[in-house]
């Protein structure tokens, strides 16, 4: 379990099997933030008391563009694909594909290559 401190308050990340942030709780177990996503990372329900960027599969979410930053490139969950082509290792003919179009079975924490979860 990971934690972070804001001021004197210690808060804890709670994650699912995809390492997506599902809850953030305070030091006394009170739920401060909660998140639900579809398979491709589209936010379905979000409740926040604290600002938080770490969300779907543990990646940084940019609220302005509604995309996730996966270190090498940006992923758009509505389109279900990357916004830049894969210049590192292409996983197939579609250089914009995210997780071989199957994010339930694969993940891509770097933006370079899919791996089996």
The residue among 50 and 113 whose pLDDT is bigger is 50
pLDDT tens readout for residues 73-88: 999 999 999 999 887 7
**What pLDDT is recorded for position 111?**
87
| 3 state SS of 107 | strand
CA–CA gap between residue 6 and residue 26 (Å, rounded): 11
92 has pLDDT over 80:
no
Q: Is the pTM of this model over 0.75?
A: yes
Q: Given the structure tokens 């953030």, which residue do they identify? A: 24
**What pLDDT is recorded for position 39?**
95
Contact status, residue 27 vs residue 9, Cβ threshold 8 Å: yes
The residue among 108 and 30 whose pLDDT is bigger is 30
Q: Give the confidence band of 89 by pLDDT, cuts at 50, 70, 90.
A: low
**What pLDDT is recorded for position 116?**
82
């Amino acid at each position: 379990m990971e934690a972070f401190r804001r001021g004197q308050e210690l808060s804890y990340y709670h994650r699912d099997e995809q390492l997506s942030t599902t809850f953030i709780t305070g030091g006394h177990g009170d739920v401060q933030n909660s998140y639900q996503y579809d398979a491709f990372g589209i936010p379905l329900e979000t409740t926040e008391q604290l600002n938080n960027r770490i969300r779907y599969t543990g990646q940084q979410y940019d609220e302005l563009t509604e995309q996730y930053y996966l270190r090498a490139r940006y992923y758009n969950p509505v389109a279900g694909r990357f916004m830049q082509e894969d210049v590192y290792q292409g996983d197939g003919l579609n250089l914009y594909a995210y997780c071989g179009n199957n994010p339930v079975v694969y993940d891509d924490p770097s933006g370079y290559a899919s791996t089996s979860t």
